Amino acid sequence: MSRFLIQRPLPHGGRLVERVVTDKEAAKKMIKGCPSYDIKPTLHYETGVPVRNVYREIMSICYGFFSPVEGSMKQAEVERILKERRLLNEWIFPYPLVFDISEEDYKQLGVGPGDRLVLNLKGKPFAILDIEEVWRIDNPEELAHLTFGTPERNPEVVREPFNKKHPGWVIYRSLQPVVLAGKYTIINEPKFRPPFDRFWYPPRKSREEFDKRGWRTVINHQTRNVPHVGHEFLMKCAAFTGDVEPCHGILVNAVIGVKRRGDYPDEAIVEGHEAVNKGGYIKPERHLPTIVLWDMRYGNPLESLLHGIIRQNMGCTHHMFGRDHAAVGEYYDKWATQILWTKGIPSYGFPAPPTDVPYGLDIRPQNMREFSYCPTCKEMAYSETCGHKREKLSGSFLRGMVAEGVQPPTIIMRPEVYKVIVKWWKHFGYPFCNEKYVVNKEKELEVDLEDL
């Protein structure tokens, strides 16, 4: 065997967290006599619009996407994350994750450390939270600033102060004051509704799927967008990394969560990626679209850290990062993520890249620039190799074209992908997420639950 062969990394923290009870009788016994609480969405602190649902975090924690995190964080853990981006067990992690409730709900519940709380979702028992500590967020605005940073404290990559136009900042600013900290366990497995059900590959299942397909090396493509041909070329060409041969598999992992108006519907995103392989542009044997539940924080380098953790846990050997990774607005340097993965960002606690610090990550970054159409080469060309003037592709430009009812040329969007957009456009009466979609989505969520 060649010494250059790359092996699949262990999960972050050394083992997969799996906190899902599948035996209904055992689950019933576990919750007998316990107080219960109906999970509520986090509402925007000014507008009241849903900006987060903690159920998505509970799912991602209990199915191991966020390993080694096991629950809602204690105060000391949150403080350490804000200072050093590390958990109390030393492993790196970018964001505070908490189960927050109002003072009124806390009083009404009357629970404390040592109590088990049953968390209901859509009126059915869903998970339990074994409370170890109760603490308070005294100043959510300060928490939001500390979570993302400031131009003064993080001059390497933060360009503008975060504010209420940043959806991730708003999530932390909108948290309720009482945090119930402790481990979560899912006691009633939710069932994903179509089309999400066929894209659900939690880490154990994705690792088994990679084995089944003979994928030793797998590169992840992060998405929250319908793919255009520029994305497709990024996926295909980034996969030429690997070891002695290109990566065996391309994992597309779509972040499914609360939407912003103007985004594509999640249904179109996942089926759009599937259309790429159904159309043969990347053959299905090499391509697997999947989902993870998470309300995006849009933290660019910090978000990339979480993405690295999720995809390492899923079994990927490589992660592709492009320009403005998981970004919104101009808060961060366009290349902040690539700076983190090549040099580190000392002010965030990374004097070296996250792969080169103790208790760091093993997934390998594959930093990419851009693909766009070159009229001289008459093909999609890479910005770092093509010497001609190229026609830049942007998702926003494409959205405008779609909204005006103009089918994008095949060279920038595959007709199979466009058909998926139109399919869901007909279903929702709109090609993108509008207010109705956003509100309904947060009411219906992606899952249903059976009686326990």
Q: What residues line the site for another protein (CB under 8 A)?
A: 261-262, 323-324, 370, 373, 375, 378, 391-392, 394-397, 399-401, 403-412, 416, 418-419, 422-423, 425-426, 429-431, 434-436
Pick between residue 75 and residue 434 the one whose CB is nearest to another protein. Answer: 434
Pick between residue 28 and residue 423 the one whose CB is nearest to another protein. Answer: 423
Classify the C-alpha dihedral 16-20-26-28 as positive or negative.
Answer: positive
Residue located via tokens 């040099």: 343
Pick between residue 83 and residue 436 the one whose CB is nearest to another protein. Answer: 436
Pick between residue 6 and residue 422 the one whose CB is nearest to another protein. Answer: 422
DSSP secondary structure string for all residues of 269-301: HHHHHHHHHHTTSS-GGGEEEEEEE------TH
Pick between residue 34 and residue 401 the one whose CB is nearest to another protein. Answer: 401
Pick between residue 40 and residue 164 the one whose CB is nearest to another protein. Answer: 164
**Continuous segment of H or E residues that includes residue 341:** helix 336-342
* Nearest distance from C-beta of residue 323 to another protein, angstroms: 7
Pick between residue 90 and residue 330 the one whose CB is nearest to another protein. Answer: 330
* Nearest distance from C-beta of residue 263 to another protein, angstroms: 10
N- to C-terminal Cα separation, the chain? 50
Which stretches of 63-155 are DSSP H helices? 75-84, 103-109, 140-148
* Separation CA 120–CA 36 (nearest Å): 7
* Nearest distance from C-beta of residue 406 to another protein, angstroms: 5
* Nearest distance from C-beta of residue 298 to another protein, angstroms: 13
Tokens of 99: 């189960």
- How large is the angle between the packed helices 301-314 and 203-213, nearest 10 degrees? 60
- How large is the angle between the packed helices 75-84 and 140-148, nearest 10 degrees? 40
Pick between residue 128 and residue 438 the one whose CB is nearest to another protein. Answer: 438
φ/ψ region of 90 (left if φ > 0, alpha if ψ in -120 to 50, else beta) reads left
Displacement of CA 407 from its chain's centroid (Å): 30
Pick between residue 110 and residue 429 the one whose CB is nearest to another protein. Answer: 429
DSSP code at position 196: G
* Nearest distance from C-beta of residue 293 to another protein, angstroms: 25
* Nearest distance from C-beta of residue 337 to another protein, angstroms: 15
* Nearest distance from C-beta of residue 371 to another protein, angstroms: 12
Burial 47-84 (b: 16+ CB within 10 A, else e): eebbbbbbbbbbbbbbbbbbbbbbbbbbbebbebbbee
SS3 (DSSP) at 254: strand
* Nearest distance from C-beta of residue 108 to another protein, angstroms: 36
| 205: phi then psi, degrees, rounded to nearest 5 | -70, -40
* Nearest distance from C-beta of residue 225 to another protein, angstroms: 13
